[in-house]
């Protein structure tokens, strides 16, 4: 059996009626609890399922995020101020998978019937509670900021942009003790007890005070460098260390490798099984890193597209996401050339003007386009 490329298996389960944002008052929220005992943020705008009861499988839609290899880049680009854009993403691709339960007053059940009414042990005397599966707006903001930072860092590292990387890195001379407190639990004792002179942090908004940053878009992470860190470390090495640490942290206990046998070819298929949408998107970044993928914005429609890193020639020069966009851009350049030529410009001037407008076209092609174009007003 010959192993083939890693596939990525995950389907999102979206309620047919979609999701909606509600305020804690709307659902008479008593408290938020987490099924995995993770920390629960303070009350905040909540994302819940909309519509009628839909425990029925037929009332749900399955979506495979793997069919969109740039989903993690689109998520990272979402504007966190735009609640409608976040809702649109959830309705298209599913919730992120935080899995909190909102314990609400059962009197809201009439307006939110798609939920369970349960005895709440903390309210003895037969006080029922209404349970809603929720995630919070702040969790979405933080999740977007994290993935945005990771993809930006990845782009800078791939471009070997040390200056750009350095802007995110902060050296704390006094960070040694603090650094030990932040050390991940999987490090060996030797790592824990060495005494660095300081520590590197990745900080996206160093000017914002820590107190103000709860649930905001600021990412401020201690970087566990493998060797004794110094302030003179190469920014690219420190950047890679952070990126690897961030990806590993997101994948830990949330994405597992699985093997499958392809019944036709009797080939071995490696798959990654993420638990939820957020880990699935981090798994996309993981795969981008291991496969050396490159990402670009289409010159015509600005959408992200992926270029395989092992295909050096044609694909790395690619500027457009699809043939449709490539053809549209070609026609755009040709029509613009005709318009400039009609104003009485020579082929060379047309070519220069196109270049100035970001539509570089070689002179031979321009000559071919404008050969039969008569300047307006001349016979
Ligand atoms: Zn395009």
**Tell me: the pLDDT tens digits for 130-139?**
778 888 898 8
- For 62, phi then psi, to 5°, come to -95, 135
65 CA to centre of ligand 1 in angstroms: 19
Pairing of strands 3-8, 267-274: parallel
Round to whole Å and give the CA distance between 10 and 279.
10
Task: Grade residue 310 by pLDDT with cuts at 50, 70 and 90.
Answer: low
Task: Grade residue 77 by pLDDT with cuts at 50, 70 and 90.
Answer: very high
Average pLDDT value for residue range 245-267: 89
pLDDT in tens, 323-340: 899 999 899 889 999 889
328 CA to centre of ligand 1 in angstroms: 9
300 CA to centre of ligand 1 in angstroms: 5
Mean pLDDT of the chain: 81
pLDDT in tens, 152-171: 999 999 999 999 999 999 99
CB 273 within 8 A of CB 9: yes
**Which pLDDT does position 53 carry in this prediction?**
47
302 CA to centre of ligand 1 in angstroms: 6
Residue 345: pLDDT above 60?
yes
**Which pLDDT does position 379 carry in this prediction?**
45
Q: Which residue has the higher pLDDT, 243 or 275?
A: 243
319 CA to centre of ligand 1 in angstroms: 9
Round to whole Å and give the CA distance between 175 and 168.
16
**Which pLDDT does position 158 carry in this prediction?**
92
First to last CA, the chain: 73
CB 131 within 8 A of CB 104: yes
Residue 9: pLDDT above 90?
no
**Which of the residue ranges 86-100, 108-122, 208-222 has the most confident prediction, judged by mean pLDDT?**
86-100
299 CA to centre of ligand 1 in angstroms: 7
Average pLDDT value for residue range 15-40: 80
Average pLDDT value for residue range 293-321: 78
Task: Grade residue 104 by pLDDT with cuts at 50, 70 and 90.
Answer: confident
315 CA to centre of ligand 1 in angstroms: 15
Residue 314: pLDDT above 60?
no
Task: Grade residue 114 by pLDDT with cuts at 50, 70 and 90.
Answer: low
84-98, 147-161, 362-376: range with lowest mean pLDDT:
362-376
Q: Which residue has the higher pLDDT, 240 or 368?
A: 240
Round to whole Å and give the CA distance between 360 and 349.
12
pLDDT in tens, 186-228: 666 655 555 557 889 999 988 877 655 555 678 888 898 767 7
Q: Which residue has the higher pLDDT, 148 or 28?
A: 148
73 CA to centre of ligand 1 in angstroms: 15
Quick one: CA torsion of 317, 322, 325, 328, rounded to 10 degrees?
90
Residue 148: pLDDT above 90?
yes
367 CA to centre of ligand 1 in angstroms: 27
| pTM of this prediction exceeds 0.85 | no
Average pLDDT value for residue range 14-43: 78
121 burial (CB, 10 Å; 0-12 / 13-18 / 19+) is exposed
Residue 374: pLDDT above 80?
no
């Amino acid at each position: 059996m010959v192993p083939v490329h890693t596939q990525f298996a995950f389907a999102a389960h979206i309620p047919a009626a979609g999701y909606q944002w509600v305020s804690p008052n709307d659902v008479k929220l008593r408290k938020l609890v987490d099924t995995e005992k993770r920390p629960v943020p303070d009350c905040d705008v909540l994302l819940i399922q909309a519509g009628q009861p839909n425990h029925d499988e037929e009332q749900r839609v399955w979506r495979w995020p793997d069919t969109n290899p740039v989903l993690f880049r689109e998520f990272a680009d979402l504007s966190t101020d735009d609640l409608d854009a976040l809702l649109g993403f959830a309705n298209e691709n599913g919730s992120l998978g935080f899995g909190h339960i909102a314990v609400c007053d059962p009197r809201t059940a009439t307006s939110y019937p798609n939920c369970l009414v349960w005895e709440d042990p903390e309210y003895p005397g037969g006080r029922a509670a209404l349970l809603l599966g929720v995630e919070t707006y702040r969790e979405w903001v933080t999740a977007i900021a994290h993935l945005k930072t990771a993809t930006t860092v990845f782009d800078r590292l791939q471009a070997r942009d040390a200056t750009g990387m350095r802007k995110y890195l902060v050296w704390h001379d006094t960070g040694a003790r603090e650094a030990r407190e932040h050390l991940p639990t999987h490090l060996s004792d030797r790592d824990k007890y060495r005494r660095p002179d300081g520590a590197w942090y990745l900080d996206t908004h160093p000017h914002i005070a820590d107190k103000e940053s709860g649930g905001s878009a600021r990412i401020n992470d201690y970087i566990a460098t493998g060797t004794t860190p110094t302030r003179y470390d190469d920014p690219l090495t420190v950047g890679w260390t952070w990126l690897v640490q961030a990806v590993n942290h997101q994948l830990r206990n949330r994405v597992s490798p699985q093997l499958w046998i392809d019944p036709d070819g009797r080939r071995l298929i490696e798959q990654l099984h993420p638990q939820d949408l957020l880990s699935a998107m981090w798994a996309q970044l993981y795969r981008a890193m291991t496969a050396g993928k490159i990402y670009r914005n289409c010159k015509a429609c600005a959408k992200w597209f992926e270029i395989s890193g092992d295909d050096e020639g044609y694909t790395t020069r690619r500027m457009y996401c699809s043939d449709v966009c490539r053809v549209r851009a070609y026609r755009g350049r040709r029509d613009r050339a005709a318009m400039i030529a009609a104003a009485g410009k020579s082929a060379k001037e047309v070519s220069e003007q196109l270049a100035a407008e970001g539509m570089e076209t070689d002179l031979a092609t321009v000559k071919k386009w404008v050969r039969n174009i008569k300047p307006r007003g001349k016979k």
